[in-house]
Amino acid sequence: MKPILVVLAAGMGSRYGGLKQMDRLGENGEVLLDYSVFDALRAGFGKVVFIIRRDIEKDFQATALDRFKDSFPYEIAYQELDSRIPSGMAAVVKDRAKPWGTAHALLCAEGLLDAPFAVINSDDFYGKEAYVVLGRFLSNAAKEGAIVPYRLDQTLSPQGSVTRGVCGVKDGYLTSVDELKDIAAEDGKILYTVDGVKRELPADTPVSMNFWGFQPSVLPELKRYFDDFLTEQGENPKSECYIPSFVDHLIRTGTLDVRVLETSTSWFGVTYKEDRATAVQRIAELTRDGIYPTSLWE
């Protein structure tokens, strides 16, 4: 079966000051996920699953789905506060203001994932080559998982600090994913802060930008992981369950081998509102260079 593209589009956009996944950046009103979907389809992906919240469904329909029309098959999954929460733990929802993170979002799409699938953020640009490499990997039906990482220095924002999943790699396989916060460039160095102490990271450190490849067989493991997360952290209203942490758990327990797929493509995104101008410029340049047509869906 052709691989599926899963698009995480339920984010709140708190640092951006709005819904990044629906900010029109292209000449004809395209959002970043337009280019991701376009790249995935021409790399051989067969279907797209969008994960959204019901409260943004109307806007998502107008901003994205109406423009796609019948260009490709897609389905919608919904991530809500109470989605996939066991009945005996319903009380943990009471004090929460937002859903439970990217691992929870993926779990919400479980019933739609009957083929190998890639997972991406809706507000990140990953590049044409990355979809070709990951699509080829998934089409070979390997039992392994996969990640397409990016150089740390290419994923920073001049507007402020970021959080990145720093990847440990050995012999072409992922050995760990360590979520580090407050990463920023300072005086020609890339620093992060832990316990009040600043430490340096090499510019070429590979980091996760949530571009993953999995087989459907990983989904029961995800359900167990999320249930354990609820038991341990469910009463914390700010706790979130992330895909990189889930993958790190699978690696540490010997449950899954995760291949690291190399590409020369560059990432860009919109972490802060001030990043928008650069993203608009990058898209315009790629369109001018013929990488994308002026109108993607005609």
Q: What pLDDT, on the 0 to 100 scale, is given for residue 16?
A: 42
Model confidence at 20, pLDDT cuts 50, 70, 90, reads: low
Q: What pLDDT, on the 0 to 100 scale, is given for residue 36?
A: 95
22 pLDDT above the threshold of 80: no
Q: What pLDDT, on the 0 to 100 scale, is given for residue 19?
A: 60
Write down the mean pLDDT value for the chain.
91
Mean per-residue pLDDT, 53-81? 90
Q: What pLDDT, on the 0 to 100 scale, is given for residue 156?
A: 93
Buried b (16+ CB within 10 A) or exposed e, 146-172: bbbbbebeebbbeeebbebbbbebeee
Closest CA to 200 of 170, 154, 166, 171: 166
Q: What is the pLDDT of residues 97-121, one digit of tens each?
A: 878 999 999 999 999 999 999 999 9
DSSP H/E element including 126: none
Q: Which residues pair with 47 in a beta bridge?
A: 4
Q: Are 203 and 190 in contact (CB under 8 A)?
A: yes
154 pLDDT above the threshold of 80: yes
Closest CA to 22 of 35, 36, 37, 32: 32
Residue type, 223: K
90 pLDDT above the threshold of 80: no
Q: What pLDDT, on the 0 to 100 scale, is given for residue 224?
A: 96
For residues 72 and 39, what is the distance between their CA atoms, to the nearest angstrom? 12
Closest CA to 167 of 229, 240, 251, 255: 251
Task: Locate 241 and state its tokens.
Answer: 């369950």
Closest CA to 118 of 249, 221, 7: 7
15 pLDDT above the threshold of 60: no
142 pLDDT above the threshold of 80: no
Q: What pLDDT, on the 0 to 100 scale, is given for residue 136?
A: 95
Mean per-residue pLDDT, 118-138? 95
What's the pTM value of the predicted model, to 2 decimals? 0.93
CATH hierarchy code of domain 4-150+207-288: 3.90.550.10
More confident: 140 or 120: 120
Mean per-residue pLDDT, 209-228? 96
Closest CA to 211 of 105, 116, 124, 97: 124
Mean per-residue pLDDT, 207-213? 97
Task: Locate 195 and state its tokens.
Answer: 């316990």
298 pLDDT above the threshold of 80: no
For residues 272 and 160, what is the distance between their CA atoms, to the nearest angstrom? 8
